[in-house]
Chain A
Amino acid sequence: MSIEFLKRALLFVVFVLAQALVLGRIHLFHCATPLLYVYFVTMFPRNYPKWGVLTWAFVMGLTVDIFSNTPGLAAASLTAIAAIQPYFSELFVPRDSAETLEPSLVNLGPTKYSYYIVSLVTMYCLLFYTLEMFNFNNMMEWLMCVVGSILITLALIYTFEIAKSKA
């Protein structure tokens, strides 16, 4: 039980509660829902054990699912994001950086961080809504949900990142 682990666990609880009690109830224009908990998965540092990322993500997904009555949905999509997250952070985090460098706006710079976060969030929203609807009969609604959620999630993440960089 390191301090690191406890911090992450606390963050976990905060994200789950925020999603269950506040964010999950927002349906802007009947489609855009902030899926902020994906931010939790993007915060793992380089060289964090891959199985660790996967387990955190799976448990996080499952917990969010339990609170939103969608068993398996967020768990499946979030696990997938956790599987590719280490490779993405390898792409964008400089190789000569510290082992425990977290991918963040300050550490990567705006351009690289934007590539990193936008691609991960986009993928997550695509996966999430594809699995949720499971058919493409209603392409328009699907697209609206995906785009809306991506925008609102990114807006929230950037808010937090900017706040963090000012602190």
Chain B
Amino acid sequence: MKNLLEFLQRHHHWFLFVLFEALSMALLFQYNSYQGSVWFSTANAIAGSVYEMNASVESFFTQARINEQLTTRNFYQERQLTQLRRLYQEATQKPVDKELEELEKLSQYKLIPAKVVTSELHKNNNLMTINRGSADGVEPGMGVACGRGVVGVTFLCSDHYTVVIPVLNSTSSRISCTIRNRGYFGVLRWYGEEAGYAYVEDIPRHARFKRGEWVETNGYSSIFPAGVLVGQITEVYNSRDGLSYKLKVRLSTDFGILRDVVVISDKSIAERMRLMQAAKDSLKLNVHE
């Protein structure tokens, strides 16, 4: 008996080895009949939760790409919604073919998704850089928008980057806009105070509108298509000369968290600009003669 115990004592690790191997083998062969072995697979709670955490980390990193797609998508739909809303209103009163044309025009805009690389908020003349350039088809003078509304106008293009003049630029940013469903035109300006608010000037005195109504681009500037959201009217002032209204607008775009934007590339703009240039040139010639 003593010998046996001593033998066990000396070689106990071999018994342990045999035990472990037997257990492993049992598992290995039993796994074919799936029942009962769920505990030893990823179906068990701990392994499952570790993988779930991992998946959430992974999804966090893919979110950037998804975000970009959503921005583009959102922009399309925002535009479409505005067009359809207007179309519906027209249809209930007087159907006009012009609106249908407007809707078709959507397809002529090429949207170039871009990411904001740097942006400023606290100066009087803020600038913003995005990671698309002339190699991607961006040209100076194109409109930039995000899923929530208007952002600015492209200014300088290198091959892969573009400097954008955002709405928050007190000297250079002038975007023409209109009050939704009212049709009065104004110019969007910013004077360097709060990043969340801007002003619409030159709204005629006879215009009728309410606080809380929406301001959107009017599509006459040839930079933005009609119906890109600008913001909501919060205050109404008289202009200094008393001839027009000045509206304080809460911008729908949050420049503080802006990451994904789209550059709106309109093929007809280039044509219009060439025409305009040609007209100017010929006028100059006439003057000189």
Q: Which of A101-139 contact B (CB under 8 A)?
A: 131
Q: CB distance A75 to B41 under 8 Å?
A: no
Q: CB distance A71 to B21 under 8 Å?
A: no
Which listed residue (B17, B23, B42) contacts A67, Cβ 8 A?
B42
Which listed residue (A17, A49, A54, A69) contacts B20, Cβ 8 A?
A54
Q: Is A32 an interface residue (CB 8 A)?
A: no
Question: Shortest Cβ distance from B28 into chain A, in angstroms?
Answer: 3
A66 to B42, CA, bound (A): 6
Q: CB distance B16 to A54 under 8 Å?
A: yes
Chain A residue nearest to B57 (CB atoms) is A21
Main secondary structure, interface of A, reads helix
Please name all residues of chain B whose beta carbon is closer than 8 Å to the beta carbon of A131 when the two chains form the complex: 28
Q: CB distance A51 to B54 under 8 Å?
A: no
Q: Is B27 an interface residue (CB 8 A)?
A: yes
Q: CB distance B25 to A66 under 8 Å?
A: no
Q: CB distance A17 to B50 under 8 Å?
A: yes
Q: CB distance B28 to A71 under 8 Å?
A: yes
A73 to B21, CA, bound (A): 10
Question: Shortest Cβ distance from A14 into chain B, in angstroms?
Answer: 13
A91 to B210, CA, bound (A): 91
Question: Shortest Cβ distance from B44 into chain A, in angstroms?
Answer: 6
Instruction: Indicate the size class of the contact surface on chain B.
Output: 20 to 34
A105 to B30, CA, bound (A): 40
Main secondary structure, interface of B, reads helix
Which listed residue (B29, B30, B47) contacts A66, Cβ 8 A?
B47
A69 to B40, CA, bound (A): 7
Please name all residues of chain A whose beta carbon is closer than 8 Å to the beta carbon of B41 when the two chains form the complex: 66, 69, 71
Please tell me which stretch of A1-9, A38-46, A76-84 contacts chain B, meaning at least 4 of its Cβ atoms lie within 8 angstroms of it.
Answer: A76-84
Q: CB distance A66 to B27 under 8 Å?
A: no
Instruction: Indicate the size class of the contact surface on chain A.
Output: 20 to 34
Q: Is B280 an interface residue (CB 8 A)?
A: no
A17 to B51, CA, bound (A): 10
Contact pattern, A 42-60, Cβ under 8 Å of B = 1, otherwise 0:
0000000111001100100
Which listed residue (B25, B31, B44, B54) contacts A21, Cβ 8 A?
B54
Q: Is B24 an interface residue (CB 8 A)?
A: yes
Question: Shortest Cβ distance from A88 into chain B, in angstroms?
Answer: 15
Q: CB distance A73 to B13 under 8 Å?
A: no
Q: Is B37 an interface residue (CB 8 A)?
A: yes
Knowing A51-B12, A66-B41, A71-B37, say if A58 contacts B47 (CB, 8 Å).
Answer: no
Which listed residue (A66, A69, A76) contacts B21, Cβ 8 A?
A76
Question: Shortest Cβ distance from B250 into chain A, in angstroms?
Answer: 45
Q: CB distance B13 to A51 under 8 Å?
A: yes
Chain B residue nearest to A67 (CB atoms) is B47
Q: CB distance A67 to B40 under 8 Å?
A: no
Contact pattern, A 61-77, Cβ under 8 Å of B = 1, otherwise 0:
11001110111110110
A16 to B235, CA, bound (A): 61
Binding site for A on B (CB under 8 A): 12-14, 16-17, 20-21, 23-31, 37, 40-42, 44, 47, 50-51, 54
Name 6 A/B residue pairs within 8 A (Cβ), A-sorted. Answer: A49-B13, A62-B24, A69-B41, A73-B28, A75-B20, A75-B23
Q: A71-B30, A71-B31, A72-B31 are in contact. List 20 more A-B contacts (CB 8 A).
A: A17-B50, A20-B51, A49-B13, A51-B13, A54-B17, A61-B24, A62-B24, A62-B40, A66-B47, A67-B50, A70-B31, A71-B37, A71-B41, A72-B25, A72-B40, A75-B27, A76-B25, A79-B20, A80-B17, A83-B13
Closest 8 pairs (CB-CB, A-B): A72-B28, A72-B27, A76-B24, A50-B13, A75-B24, A71-B40, A71-B27, A72-B24
